[in-house]
Chains A and B, each alone.
Chain A
Amino acid sequence: MSNKYTQQLDSLEAVGLSSLYPGKFRISVGMATCGLATGAGEVFNRLGEELKKTGFDAILSRTGCLGFCQMEPVVDLFIPDGPRLTFVEMTPEKATDFIKILTEGKIPTDSLLCVHQRETLLGDNFKEYGSASADTVADVPLYTEVPFFAKQNKIALRNCGVIDPVSIEEYVARSGYRALLEVLSSRTNVELIADVKTSGLRGRGGGGFPTGLKWEYTLKTEADQRYVVCNADEGDPGAYMDRSVLEGDPHSVIEGMILGGYAMQASMGFVYVRTEYPLAVERMTVAIEQARGNGFLGENIFGSDFSFDLQIRQGSGAFVCGEETSLMHSIEGVSPEPRNRPPFPSESGLWKKPTNINNVETWANVPALVFKGGSWFSGIGTENSKGTKVFSLVGTVRNTGLVEVPMGITLREIIFEIGGGIPDDKEFKAVQTGGPSGGCLPASLLDLPVDYQRLAEAGSIMGSGGMVVMDETSCVVDIARYFLDFTNDESCGKCTSCRDGSELMLNILTRITQGHGKPEDVDFLLELGAAVTDASQCGLGQTLANPVLSTIRYFREEYDAHIERAVCPAHACKELVTYSVDVDKCTGCTLCARNCPTAAISGKVREVHFIDQGNCTKCGLCFDVCNFNAIVVE
């Protein structure tokens, strides 16, 4: 029987391969949200127009995000029988030239970032490219030589930026749905769970609970109906890998969820996506339709007696809905407050049935590890954290983007080798991991290997993988205040400790950033933080003190400077700085006066300007607009 389905996949693969490698030039544009925000849509349209105008014979296609978001829009050129070239920071004008050079029979080299000699397929398999036109690009760095990519190992992001997200054929051409067919035709669900346990995969959403174990618990609970859920309510500010996976490779999540459904004998799955990600919802909807059309979702998948279907549910902008019990309440349509655990969702979840909830990245890892085997996966990473983790490397760092690295890599490697260090000759100050539940780590911990345990020991968490780098101009007290403002706003209000505790801590931090701190404030914050952590029901309350506690632990002297001397060493706290005009540098161009929202700056053309401190709201606009560095911040 399975022969018929192998043929089905083979024919899909043939179509996919012919669109991925059509035997002529193929131009692909990265069209995820980050690409679109920097004008990938315009580049795509221009390329299309130019191809039509010139009649040049090439295929134009769209892909997800390659991860190097700093350099968007990214365009890839696949040379027939030759290497793949990656071009960055494209514009419509450059696109016109791009096609013009191609029509002249040459290879464009403007804005060329790197050359791919081979394509990494699942695991350690490769597809070697030919060497046509290799001489033209001989002195361009290889993909593996670009610092941003050199240390990466892409498993969850394996297809992002390579395939067309809404082409099931291209997904199959990259070994997609093969694992599913193999499992459904030759493995029992218990064997599958055993393999996932062997792999050592742990939840990528933040908690880090072993995935295989969670699946086993769900299966062991007696029930007539079980559910699997994909948590795509990626609320942590500073993390966006889930969005990228959903926009760039939705089929990997679908395949992972079908495999999970089979392992736990669930017949229904939900994908819970936050409303801020319209493009992800759109692509996921199309992908689910395609999977259904091919019989990968629905009744008797691949001729087995296993049936499974998926539905998309959208959040409506509530951070706490990323917490699993709250998320389930939201799907049920009741008030989405978290509840006590136990009972855990694996015992009593959606509509009181056993439910397994995993994060997008976890689901995207599943097909890969099943395809290659659990022991292959467990060979990557550290002793208690296996595999790779996607981090969104953002903030004040040269190369921003999504990076997928093996567990155990140090922060220094991520920030200074992959990220290229801090721009504008500034000093590294801290890196914030784990969003509002995580902490700020100082320069002294840069050599910390990144895995679940080590980060927790340092007072932070892995979280969903947000990594916000801060330079000397960021004030850690202000950052702690920012996070408390966030959690205070997002607290659902059920537990007094979280609702009022966050409010109290926020008030104290606000007071400190305004220069009215009291000597006992820091000790009180520590005490309050411990109480909130102990007395709250869900993850939001239990971790909201982390940003405060970790900054006090590593940056105590900054708190002291604010409290004892009313000074903000980073010049970031508005109330503690003054803006004034440097009389030697001011040229009297009036730019600052025209931009000042409160008309606090006076001065005539070509005369030195003056800031009226009484009217100044310290918005910093004058500092930003001045072309002569004539505005001084003290």
Chain B
Amino acid sequence: MADTVTDIKPEKKNMATESAKSGAVLVVGGGIAGIQSSLDLADSGYKVYLVEKTPAIGGTMAQLDKTFPTNDCAMCVISPKLVGSGRHLNIDLITNAEVMGIEGESGNFTVKVKRHPRYVDAEACTGCGACVQNCPVNMIIYPVERDEVDIRKNDRDVVLPILEENGCGEGSLMPVLQAVDRHYGYLPKDVITYISGKLSVSLADIYNIATFYNSFSLVPKGRHKISICMGTTCYVKGAEKLMQKLCTDLGVEPGGTTEDMRFSVEAARCIGCCSLAPAIMVNDKVYGRVKLSDLSGILKEYQ
């Protein structure tokens, strides 16, 4: 079987005045928006052709866990609509197909649709799943079990004690990531992949957490971390000028690292030294009432 191209030409009804208006609608895209539009149109009496590129309608919503803002289960909302559009007499589902071209004018279009081969008789298939399980070729639609990633020996000597200290149980991910971050100054990819296997937490979940918190970094940071407090008081007392001067002096952008890996500069959300504003923190040491002229002296303390 090869791709087939069909012309969809709605049957013309006898309409006396507006000669060529047909009572059919083509909906492109079988996501929740397309499904709902099709159902609404079909219910109001129009013939609907619903064209969907993938082998099944449903789109992204069918893959979601919850919907905003009510946290309702997404499948519970969409399933009745899937079934409804499948059996609505006014809806023709054309799945695994793409729109190639549209001709005509408002009210009377001819659409060219390319239907990809399915290699399965859609009328006869019940969706039992037996063929998937029995296919001898690797079942790529299911994720492959991840082998334990090997890391360099000296990395392992760092990570194993961290894992031992914090355990592998509930809630140990954060302390482990913090310890790794303290040791390396950032979260190296190999190490994190290794931890992902050890803690049985997916890399995606770790990535989610690592990018959520400001203090984790996925790229190497400088030897000394300069945090310029941008709390309200420091802001009112001119912390922005400190930032500007520091960045100009070091030749970096806020959040950046100098080329010699000596300093990283970032804005901090209040380091709790409001009475000594403006304040900056280098590594764990806090400097209060910092003047622009103090900066070069402070930098000299760190090599």
**A interface residues with partner B (beta carbon < 8 Å):** 33-34, 36-38, 69-70, 72, 234-240, 243, 275-279, 313-319, 330-336, 339-340, 351, 392-396, 400-402, 432, 435, 466, 468, 470, 474, 479, 482-483, 486, 490, 492, 494-497, 535, 537, 595, 597, 619-621, 624-625
B270 & A236 in contact (Cβ 8 Å cutoff): yes
Complex CA gap A196/B277 in Å reads 37
User: Nearest 7 CB-CB pairs, A to B?
Assistant: A69-B275, A237-B231, A240-B272, A317-B214, A316-B213, A333-B173, A37-B288
B68 & A495 in contact (Cβ 8 Å cutoff): yes
- B99-107, B133-141, B153-161, B240-248: which one contacts chain A? B240-248
A621 & B241 in contact (Cβ 8 Å cutoff): yes
Complex CA gap A275/B268 in Å reads 11
Bitwise, B263-303 to A at CB < 8 A (1) or not (0) is 00000111111111101010011111100100000000000
Q: Which chain A residues lie closer than 8 Å to B170 at the CB level?
A: 332-333, 351
Q: Contacts A277-B272, A340-B71: A318 and B212 contacting too (C-beta < 8 A)?
A: yes
Contact partner of B232 (CB less than 8 A), chosen from A237, A243, A490, A495, is A237
A401 & B235 in contact (Cβ 8 Å cutoff): no
Interface of chain B residues 28 through 84 with chain A (CB within 8 A): 68-69, 71
Complex CA gap A548/B268 in Å reads 23
CB distance from B37 to the nearest CB of A (A): 22
Whether a CB of chain A sits under 8 angstroms from the CB of B127 is no
B274 & A400 in contact (Cβ 8 Å cutoff): yes
CB distance from A599 to the nearest CB of B (A): 11
Q: Contacts A314-B178, A333-B173, A482-B232: A239 and B274 contacting too (C-beta < 8 A)?
A: yes
Whether a CB of chain A sits under 8 angstroms from the CB of B218 is no
Whether a CB of chain A sits under 8 angstroms from the CB of B19 is no
Complex CA gap A277/B68 in Å reads 35
A396 & B236 in contact (Cβ 8 Å cutoff): yes
Whether a CB of chain A sits under 8 angstroms from the CB of B197 is no
Complex CA gap A434/B15 in Å reads 68
Report the tally of A-B residue pairs with Cβ distances under 8 A.
Answer: 173
Q: Which chain A residues lie closer than 8 Å to B213 at the CB level?
A: 315-318, 336
CB distance from B217 to the nearest CB of A (A): 11
Contact partner of A435 (CB less than 8 A), chosen from B232, B245, B284, B289, is B232
Whether a CB of chain A sits under 8 angstroms from the CB of B186 is no
Complex CA gap A234/B270 in Å reads 9
Q: Contacts A69-B276, A313-B174: A319 and B269 contacting too (C-beta < 8 A)?
A: yes
Q: Contacts A333-B171, A333-B174, A621-B292: A33 and B274 contacting too (C-beta < 8 A)?
A: no
CB distance from B17 to the nearest CB of A (A): 45
What are 22 residue pairs bridging A and B, where the CB atoms are less than 8 Å apart in the complex?
A34-B273, A37-B279, A38-B276, A72-B288, A235-B270, A237-B274, A238-B232, A276-B269, A276-B271, A279-B284, A313-B174, A316-B178, A318-B214, A319-B269, A332-B171, A334-B209, A396-B236, A486-B230, A494-B68, A495-B69, A497-B69, A620-B241
Contact partner of A238 (CB less than 8 A), chosen from B174, B177, B231, B286, is B231
Complex CA gap A535/B269 in Å reads 26
Interface of chain B residues 219 through 267 with chain A (CB within 8 A): 227, 230-238, 241, 244-245, 248
B276 & A237 in contact (Cβ 8 Å cutoff): no
Q: Which chain B residues lie closer than 8 Å to A393 at the CB level?
A: 275
Q: Which chain B residues lie closer than 8 Å to A466 at the CB level?
A: 232, 274
Q: Which chain A residues lie closer than 8 Å to B227 at the CB level?
A: 276
A316 & B215 in contact (Cβ 8 Å cutoff): yes
Complex CA gap A537/B68 in Å reads 10
CB distance from B187 to the nearest CB of A (A): 11
CB distance from B72 to the nearest CB of A (A): 11
Whether a CB of chain A sits under 8 angstroms from the CB of B23 is no
Q: Which chain A residues lie closer than 8 Å to B238 at the CB level?
A: 620, 624
B275 & A392 in contact (Cβ 8 Å cutoff): yes
Q: Which chain B residues lie closer than 8 Å to A474 at the CB level?
A: 236
Q: Which chain B residues lie closer than 8 Å to A332 at the CB level?
A: 170-171
Complex CA gap A168/B212 in Å reads 37
A619 & B244 in contact (Cβ 8 Å cutoff): yes
Contact partner of B236 (CB less than 8 A), chosen from A340, A395, A620, A624, is A395
CB distance from B285 to the nearest CB of A (A): 8
B288 & A394 in contact (Cβ 8 Å cutoff): no
Interface of chain B residues 139 through 196 with chain A (CB within 8 A): 170-175, 177-178, 181
B274 & A597 in contact (Cβ 8 Å cutoff): no
Whether a CB of chain A sits under 8 angstroms from the CB of B109 is no
Q: Contacts A37-B286, A336-B212: A432 and B232 contacting too (C-beta < 8 A)?
A: yes
Q: Contacts A36-B286, A432-B232, A621-B241: A70 and B275 contacting too (C-beta < 8 A)?
A: yes
Chain A residue nearest to B247 (CB atoms) is A597
Complex CA gap A240/B234 in Å reads 13
CB distance from B130 to the nearest CB of A (A): 36
CB distance from B167 to the nearest CB of A (A): 11
B275 & A333 in contact (Cβ 8 Å cutoff): no
Complex CA gap A477/B68 in Å reads 32
Whether a CB of chain A sits under 8 angstroms from the CB of B205 is yes
B233 & A468 in contact (Cβ 8 Å cutoff): yes
Complex CA gap A267/B124 in Å reads 60
Q: Contacts A34-B276, A37-B286, A490-B269: A334 and B205 contacting too (C-beta < 8 A)?
A: yes
A238 & B274 in contact (Cβ 8 Å cutoff): yes
B232 & A316 in contact (Cβ 8 Å cutoff): no
Whether a CB of chain A sits under 8 angstroms from the CB of B200 is no
Q: Which chain A residues lie closer than 8 Å to B201 at the CB level?
A: 333
Complex CA gap A395/B47 in Å reads 68
